[in-house]
Amino acid sequence: MSTSTDLPYRPNVGIALFNREGKLFLAQRADLPGHIWQCPQGGIDEGENLEQAAWREMMEEIGTNKAVLLAMRPGWVSYDLPPHLLGRSLGGRYRGQKQRWLVFGFTGKDSDFNLGLQTPPEFNDWRWVGVREALDGHYDLGIKRKLYETLLPELKELFDKAPQGWWLQTPAKPR
């Protein structure tokens, strides 16, 4: 009988997308019961590097990649699925996900977001929120709450170190 520790972590990229005011893009999951909120994220496909995966996931999940890459958080972070989701979530092949996080600055307009590109859509609502607001209980972060409690302040700090005028940069195209 296999246990969760026999299963690997799924390689994943997380996207911390901030607007010019330093607010974080947070989206509500359409495919989970309740009102679970998270940042865009997704699996890294065979042959993709981290940047390619982030640009692709951004376009697939939120319908725009009008952004500039500002920073990449060093190192991987991981989270385990709770026991009731093992064998059911992530195709039943993984114990959880290991993630690398990229910090982006949004250069578009709010009307650029389109959550309906995927069928079915992953998200059904979104908001710009302060990191403290995201963590203070206003939003149900589901099984990722503990991860986000550590991660989001670090990602905001990386965003805060971005050069002034980053929004004037020509967005890099996915490589």
CATH topology of domain 4-164: Nucleoside Triphosphate Pyrophosphohydrolase (3.90.79)
CB-CB neighbours of 32 under 10 Å: 14
Buried/exposed code over 5-29 (b: 16+ C-beta within 10 A; e: otherwise): eebebbbbbbbbbbbeeebbbbbbb
Mapped onto helix, strand or coil, the DSSP state of residue 108 is coil
Q: Which pLDDT score, from 0 to 100, does residue 174 have? A: 60
pLDDT tens digits for range 7-46: 899 999 999 999 999 999 999 999 887 899 999 999 999 9
Residue 166, strand partner residues: none
Q: What are phi and psi of 36, to 5 degrees?
A: -90, 130
User: In terms of pTM, does the model score above 0.85?
Assistant: yes
pLDDT (tens digit per residue) in 52-92: 999 999 999 999 999 999 999 999 999 988 887 777 677 77
